[in-house]
A and B are shown apart, each in its own frame.
Chain A
Amino acid sequence: MSQLSTTPKPRRNVELALLVLALAVGIGANMMVGVDKEKAFDSDFWFQSSLLAVAALVFHAVLRFRAKYADPVILPLVVALNGLGLAMIHRLDAPGDDTGNNQLRWTLIAMAVAIAVIWFLKDHRILRRFTFISLAASALLLILPLVPGISAGEILGARVWIRLGPMTFQPGEVAKITLAIFFAGYLSSNRDLILLAGRKIGPLQFPRFKDMGPMITAWLVSIGVLIFQRDLGSSVLFFGLFIVMIYVATSRISWVVIGVALILGGGFVASNVFSHVQLRIDGWLNAFTPEVYDRSPGGSGQIVQGLFGMANGGLVGTGLGQGRPDLVPFANSDMIIASLGEELGLIGLFAVVLMYLLFFTRGFRAALGTRDAFGKLLACGLSFAVALQCFVVIGGVTRLIPLTGLTTPFLAAGGSSLLANWIIVGLLLLISHTARAPVNTTPLPPAKDPAKAPNATGIDTPTEAVKHL
């Protein structure tokens, strides 16, 4: 492979240009949804548009200061998606509803947190010090919704919400980040051990049983989420995240085989034992049977109505504000993909999905580019998590797979999802910054408490030559 230009370029101006384009998409969409209604150019529109633009430009400015080699495509992609989501949520607001402004509030909070991550963290490798704290945090976050007093109880069949004053929050969204940090930290430290020991069966080298600890942990977490929180989507997401990370850490297909076997085994048992899983699967396979359609809870009415909406949109869509996505339950959250499909058509929805594809591709690119195993694992895990989440949600809406309660990143109404995904954006930007910046040979400042750091010097040895980049 030939070496191309070796002088790194910040490419912040490219980002600025793309950002203007992204804002045009989001704000233009917000304008279109109300243009023939009373809410055309109402105070909400000006408020939302100007704040979104200001926040995006502030984010851009922060990158110029703190991470000037960060990937220039990631931020515009996310701003465009977030803007489209805002427009659709604003469009679906019945008179008196305030979901649009609430979504904007959360967007601003989430962007502020992502900025804080970039500003204060400076280098993602510091997170490696928090490997086991992350595990503890994950466990805490996943248990919170089950704790009486904090739990918001069972909402729509799942116990994934906690109550924070007047608001509800879904800690599982943040748990996918802390779990990714834990897996990245643990696997980057122990991958050699896991790699070397093991028994070969046929072409596959299987790990020693004691090295399967983390996998068993991950499996138990997933099954626990499925049983206690009744959240099939998160369960699949956590386990998928783990499998990819252990595969990347070891390059062993055997882990994937074991993982898929565990998933299938767990899924088979779950589908036979737990009624909520059965209902999901039945609602998927027999969506068009009258008794399944009308069943409550767990009926297929929502997904079938979503399909009708998308069919109505066809190739070019009804146009923003012209369709009837309001006929679909949860049109602005779980089913926002169907709403976009109806009004933007196949072409518009393909564009949205392509934006996700570009986004996670840039994430994988950062994983390839960064030189430390922890960063590679973290970037790869987070990117794959976003991709898998999109697949589970969109696949569910299009009846490719059973519908689960996962949120559509950046688009769906919901604060916790926005917060978590913007943090992922912040982390990927940081990782991409280190990936693209001129090689920095200065060691990290030593941790205040060296005992907590998995590696006393804090320096990561390069895992592989950069020639593959």
Chain B
Amino acid sequence: MNQAIRHSWVAAVALFALIFGAISYVQVVGADELKANPWNQRAILQNYCSDRGAIIVGGTPVAESVETGSETCKFQRTYPQGELYAGITGYFSQNFGATGLERAMGEVLTGDSDQLFLDRVGQLFLGNQPKGASVELTIDPEIQQLAYSLIPDGQRGSIVVTNPKTGAILAMASKPSYDPNTVATQDPTAESNSINELLKVPGINLNQNVSGPTGELLAPGSVYKLVDTAAALASGKYNADSVLPNPAEMPFDGISYKLPNYAGGNCYTRDTASFAFALQQSCNTPFASIALDLGRDAIANQAQKFGFGEDVGDQLKLGYARGNGFPDDLDAPGLAQSAIGQKDVRATPLQVNMMTSAIANDGVQMRPNLIKTLRSPDLRVINEPQPEQLRTSTTPEISNQITDWMVSAVSEGIANRAAVPGVQVAGKTGTAELGNGTNNSWFTGFAPANNPQVSVTIVMEGVDIYTGAQLTSPNAKKIFEAVLNK
């Protein structure tokens, strides 16, 4: 009988061995598959309904988790000024993932970042509900609000305002925008409806890498002439006194196409031009001739030094487009057109701003930085990025020289509506023809020229020349005033 009892025990233990195996399978071996199952709401709820850290601008949250009072989903992500900051915060949705800083700073916001390791250990022992760290931005709320309001509703455009000495981004606005609250809702039907609606709006691309100031690659037009100028001065073949050819049209061998000069300014008054005049009036043919003289590689090299087609460093956090830099395999007309920021040359508003800031900062380009501090749940600063040099774009001499010419473009040239009384403003406009009668209208510049505090880049897409002129330089003036009067 005892033998049979032992056998029964062995049978029971065998059953338990199966249980151990089954538990191991569910909890370890097959766990990843179960976690990835679309019916599994846990990961979403754990993230989506948890107390995520806030994204803070000027002491006020622009993305925060508020208590819902419900047991199943305790916190709801809300965006108090949704449309104003949508391009930066992105959204944090239940079923469509996250974009923007919500995505890039996800680990910090949920409290899973390595930087919060000690806090997590503390939570383990104190049993506190995990709470994420908050992210404080370099954005100035007043400038952001101003920049956003300067883009008319219905107009596609972007404005980037930075501190050229630190790389800190003071404002980054674009339209069209959207309200992330409609995507972050707990109601799955409303959520997918609003995603579907947003996908229909031209200009709203929920993917940060291809839209907005950091992602949208646009023909830069004449602001690219700053690249040609820097390349020319760096080559040693040109100096401040060089006399540049300034024909009304530039012919090319073997084809009938002729590159025309800019029709808006006073270019037609002279056959030759100084750098100052060419930049003031934004004449095309002097820069095309520089490019043809120096060759494609010199221009491409300088473009690369200004950061076109290059990385922007790791403090921006947002997804961004690098672009391809200056095009390869150009024939003479192609090189001439590319040199004035047309044809296949593309750059993001942020890249144009970085070029401008490098000129403002004695030729040193700073890492664009959106993050002011990371704070643990008890508001202790756990990380405070310091200004860092990204690359040297040009020499102080060359940048000072270009600054002088940009100042004259505002004081005496076609960018004169950016002028601020009592302040030396350096600026450059651009008008890139889109081939359908409309243009991308640019302004990029900084102030004060002798001690730059702020660098502003504005682009309005698909506008006629008159509207573009209205929306760029005069708006830049308002931003300069707002920043400098603070």
**Does chain A bind chain B?**
yes
A19 to chain B, nearest CB (A): 24
| Cβ–Cβ contact A345 & B1, under 8 A | no
B18 to chain A, nearest CB (A): 6
Residues of A within 8 A of B45 (CB): 324, 327
Residues of B near any A CB (own CB < 8 A): 1-9, 11-13, 15-16, 18-28, 30-32, 34-35, 37, 39-43, 45-46, 71-72, 124, 126-130
Q: A312 touches which one: B4, B11, B23, B35 (CB < 8 A)?
A: B35
A360 to chain B, nearest CB (A): 6
In the complex formed, the residue of A with least CB distance to B7 is: A247
**Bitwise interface map of A from 354 to 365 toward B, beta carbon under 8 Å scored 1, else 0:** 001100110010
Q: B39 touches which one: A248, A293, A322 (CB < 8 A)?
A: A293
- Provide a sorted-by-A list of 20 A–B residue pairs whose CB atoms are within 8 angstroms: A35-B126, A35-B127, A36-B128, A247-B4, A247-B8, A248-B8, A310-B27, A311-B26, A313-B27, A327-B42, A341-B26, A350-B20, A350-B23, A353-B19, A353-B20, A357-B13, A361-B9, A391-B12, A398-B23, A468-B3
In the complex formed, the residue of A with least CB distance to B24 is: A346
Residues of A near any B CB (own CB < 8 A): 32, 35-36, 94-95, 244, 247-251, 288, 293, 304, 307-315, 319, 321-322, 324, 326-327, 341, 345-346, 349-350, 353, 356-357, 360-361, 364, 367-368, 373, 376, 380, 383-384, 387-388, 390-391, 394-395, 398-400, 463-464, 468-469
4 closest A-B pairs by beta carbon, nearest first, are: A311-B34, A398-B22, A35-B127, A387-B12
| Cβ–Cβ contact B26 & A395, under 8 A | no
| Cβ–Cβ contact A32 & B127, under 8 A | yes
In the complex formed, the residue of B with least CB distance to A466 is: B2
A332 to chain B, nearest CB (A): 15
| Cβ–Cβ contact A356 & B6, under 8 A | no
Q: In whole angstroms, what is the CA distance A308 to B44 when docked?
A: 12
Q: In whole angstroms, what is the CA distance A433 to B392 when docked?
A: 87
Q: B8 touches which one: A324, A327, A364 (CB < 8 A)?
A: A364
| Cβ–Cβ contact B22 & A394, under 8 A | yes
Residues of A within 8 A of B21 (CB): 400
Residues of A within 8 A of B18 (CB): 391, 395, 400
Q: In whole angstroms, what is the CA distance A304 to B38 when docked?
A: 12
Knowing A36-B129, A310-B23 are in contact, say whether A387-B15 is a contact too (CB < 8 A).
yes
Residues of B within 8 A of A346 (CB): 23-24, 27-28
Q: In whole angstroms, what is the CA distance A305 to B7 when docked?
A: 36
Residues of B within 8 A of A399 (CB): 22, 26
Q: In whole angstroms, what is the CA distance A296 to B171 when docked?
A: 54
A446 to chain B, nearest CB (A): 26
In the complex formed, the residue of B with least CB distance to A356 is: B16
In the complex formed, the residue of B with least CB distance to A360 is: B12
| Cβ–Cβ contact B4 & A307, under 8 A | no
Residues of B within 8 A of A312 (CB): 31, 35, 40, 42-43, 46
Q: B23 touches which one: A32, A341, A367 (CB < 8 A)?
A: A341
| Cβ–Cβ contact B31 & A311, under 8 A | yes
A382 to chain B, nearest CB (A): 12
In the complex formed, the residue of A with least CB distance to B71 is: A94
| Cβ–Cβ contact B27 & A311, under 8 A | yes
- Residue of B2, B24, B39 with most partner-chain A CB within 10 A: B2
Knowing A308-B42, A350-B20, A395-B19 are in contact, say whether A341-B27 is a contact too (CB < 8 A).
yes
Residues of B within 8 A of A383 (CB): 9, 12
| Cβ–Cβ contact A248 & B12, under 8 A | no
| Cβ–Cβ contact B27 & A345, under 8 A | yes
In the complex formed, the residue of B with least CB distance to A377 is: B1
- Residue of B19, B22, B127 with most partner-chain A CB within 10 A: B19
Residues of A within 8 A of B25 (CB): 398
Knowing A326-B71, A350-B20 are in contact, say whether A380-B5 is a contact too (CB < 8 A).
yes
| Cβ–Cβ contact B16 & A307, under 8 A | no
Residues of A within 8 A of B41 (CB): 308, 327
Q: B27 touches which one: A315, A367, A395 (CB < 8 A)?
A: A315
Q: In whole angstroms, what is the CA distance A315 to B32 when docked?
A: 12
Residues of B within 8 A of A395 (CB): 15, 18-19, 22
- Residue of B3, B4, B42 with most partner-chain A CB within 10 A: B4
| Cβ–Cβ contact A307 & B34, under 8 A | yes
Q: In whole angstroms, what is the CA distance A244 to B12 when docked?
A: 10
In the complex formed, the residue of A with least CB distance to B14 is: A391
Residues of A within 8 A of B4 (CB): 247-251
Residues of A within 8 A of B30 (CB): 311
| Cβ–Cβ contact A388 & B12, under 8 A | yes
Q: In whole angstroms, what is the CA distance A367 to B7 when docked?
A: 12
Known pairs A310-B26, A324-B45, A395-B19 / 18 extra A-B pairs, C-beta < 8 Å:
A35-B126, A95-B71, A244-B8, A251-B3, A308-B42, A309-B42, A314-B31, A315-B27, A341-B26, A353-B19, A353-B20, A361-B9, A361-B13, A364-B5, A368-B5, A384-B12, A391-B16, A468-B2
